[in-house]
Structures are given as C-alpha cells and as structure tokens.
A and B are shown apart, each in its own frame.
Chain A
Amino acid sequence: MSFVTDSFTDADNTLLSAHTGELGATWTKKWYSSFNAKIISNQLRSAYLNCTWYASGTPASAEYDVEAKYVSGLIGPNDFIGPAGRMSTTADTFYTAGAAYTGGYKLLKCVAESFTLLGSYGTSAGNTVVKLEIRDAAKKLYVDGVERVSSSDNAITAAGKAGFYNYDQYNSGLLIDNFSASDPSGGATYAPPPPRPALRFAHMMVR
C-alpha cells in the first residue's frame, strides 16, 4: 500500500515547500541547503548543494520501498540524487540509493551527517527508476526493477520518513519525477494520477 505518491504536477517554480502531491506528500526540508527545491515542467528540480526532504506520509513499519525516476542533470563530480528512507526528522540520518555522476548508482547511509558508501553499481546513470528497498535483513538498490546492490547494513532501524536526498554540486538542477513510497504488503509503486474525463459535447439540433 502506498503511503506517499507525488507526480510533482504543479505550476512551474512552485517551491517544494508549497507543493502538495497526490498522497502523503507535503514536504519538509531537513538538511541543510538554504536553497529550495522546486517544480519545473512537472518534475522536481533539486536545491543547490546538500539537501534532504521528507514527505508527510507515514509508513506502517520500518520496512518499506521508496522509489523515484531519475530524469537528468548530473554534471558535477559529486552530483547525486535519489530516494531515501528511514529518514530521521530530528537528526541527519537516513539511507539513500540513487543516481550519481561518478560511479553510476550508489547505495549510502548517513548517520549523524557521516556518510558511508555501502555499495555501487557501475554504469552511467540514465533515465531510470531507482528504488531503495528497506528491510531489516537488507537494504537494496534497484535500477529499473532489477536488483543491483544488496547490503546487510542495519545501522538505522527506526522507521522514520520517506523522501529524497540530493547533492547538486553546481546548481545544475537534478531532476526526478514520479516519487512513491509503499509498504511491502501492497507491493504498489508509483500510480499516476487518474486521467481527466473526456469533454463531451452535446449534440446540437440544427434547424
């Protein structure tokens, strides 16, 4: 069952802090950039430098999946953006998996602002869906539905929140789309908003 979905559909330049997604998606910035992420062309554009945001939705347990589609923008050697989970709302502590300019895709943990690289899948990061699967037994990085890295690390155990982390080194604007977080029982991933109903024109009698 999804507890967060966000297609980032909104007016251009809407700040993420002022945006509300489809489900459980009002956003709070935790760390640390003074800049704001915003909506551009119905996609999420990262804030400059280090930034974490978490969504309002609450997971049923500490085991859940978080995913987002990486679109574009990686140009700086340290650029990274990806979904995050077990995000503390009081400390800079979380797991994240995402697309990186250097090293392809990475799985990391951050504990009290200290980053540890848990693993990497080496290929150039492209327009792909990245999923972070969080279980006590393993933290896994999926790229387009295929498991690429699995780590036994379980240093962060509290459920926390789901969200994303970015490092936008040159303010190039890292873009992601179709964010979702779901509890494992439902197995649901991103569900797009329902299509608008078709317009109907009444027949007109021409006399």
Chain B
Amino acid sequence: MAKRFYISPIAGDGSFENPYRPVLHDTMEQEDGGVWEIASDANGRPIIPYALCLVNAVNHGKFGGLANVDGLPEITLDSTLSVLTNPQRNVLLNFLSKRGIDTSGLNVNSTFREVIERVGKALNSNFNSLNFDVSA
C-alpha cells in the first residue's frame, strides 16, 4: 500500500446512495482508503468542480486512465520541488493553474507540502495538511 495525492473531478448527486465524492473513489478497491477535500456551499453542494485527494492503495495504476484525474508527484511532503525535473515541475504547476489555483511564489525551493496547502486552501480555508490523512 502507498499513498499518493490526486486532483479529481467530483461525482454524485448528494443522496446517501450517491454522495458527492471524487470520481476516482469509484475506481478504488475494497482495501483502498482515502480522504478528500471538497468545497461545498451552505446547502452541501460542491462549488468547486475538483477535489484534492489522498489515496492509499495497492495499485495506483488503475487511476491513470481516468479522465481529468491528475496524479501528483510521488514525493514526500517535505521534499522541495527541486527533486523534480523541469518538465515534471511544469506539469505539476499546470495541474494547479488550469484549475485556477494561484501558483505564484511556488518555485524549486518550495516544498511539496506548500503545493498541497495551496490546493487545499483553495478549497477550504481551514485546510491543514497535518490534519489530512488516511491510515496505511
């Protein structure tokens, strides 16, 4: 089992049988686990069409073919973006910018945690990467 961050579109209609959830949840298997941040309005409906996800799974390859699901780099939260190549960094930052997430100030010296915090706080001002986790 390994954990990986994703940004995923949202599925569901808000009923208990079909709750709002990231699209990738429906590809998770019984033994997988995850936690996700979904921004919602006062009536519980999503107001931003993507979720930040942390998924613990045996096989992450199954998420690769999902439309508009972007897998973030498999690096530790305390790694700086310098561990990525230029193309890898550009891909990562494009995952954010194409969704309207501000990437100003993120550079090779930024940590991956700063990136996750940037995405998370775009969804929830209360977001804290230290309180965003799923058991291995």
Contact = CB atoms under 8 A, between A and B. Distances in A.
A192 interface: no
B16 A78 contact: yes
B44 A120 contact: no
Contacts of B131: 137-138, 150-152
A62 B76 CA distance: 34
Interface in B37-65: 37-38, 40, 42-46
Contact of A117 (B20, B133, B134): B20
- In the complex, which range does the number of interface residues on chain B fall in? 35 or more
Contacts of B124: 152-154
A121 B57 CA distance: 11
Given A120-B33, A122-B30, A137 B128 contact: yes
Contacts of B14: 113-116
B92 interface: no
- In the complex, which range does the number of interface residues on chain A fall in? 35 or more
Contact of A112 (B15, B44, B120): B44
Query: Most chain-A CB neighbours within 10 Å: which of B17, B29, B33, B42?
Result: B33
Contact of A152 (B33, B44, B120): B120
A176 to B, nearest CB: 17
B36 A119 contact: yes
A180 to B, nearest CB: 23
Contact of A104 (B19, B25, B33): B33
A103 interface: yes
B56 to A, nearest CB: 8
B123 to A, nearest CB: 9
Contact of B45 (A114, A138, A167): A114
A72 to B, nearest CB: 18
Contact of B44 (A115, A146, A148, A154): A115
Interface string B6-19: 00000010111101
B127 interface: yes
Given A117-B19, A117-B21, A137 B126 contact: yes
Nearest to A112: B43
Contacts of B17: 78
Nearest 8 interchain pairs by C-beta = A114-B44, A111-B44, A119-B35, A114-B14, A138-B131, A115-B19, A117-B21, A148-B135
9 contacts: A103-B28, A112-B43, A115-B15, A122-B31, A147-B135, A149-B134, A150-B132, A152-B120, A152-B126
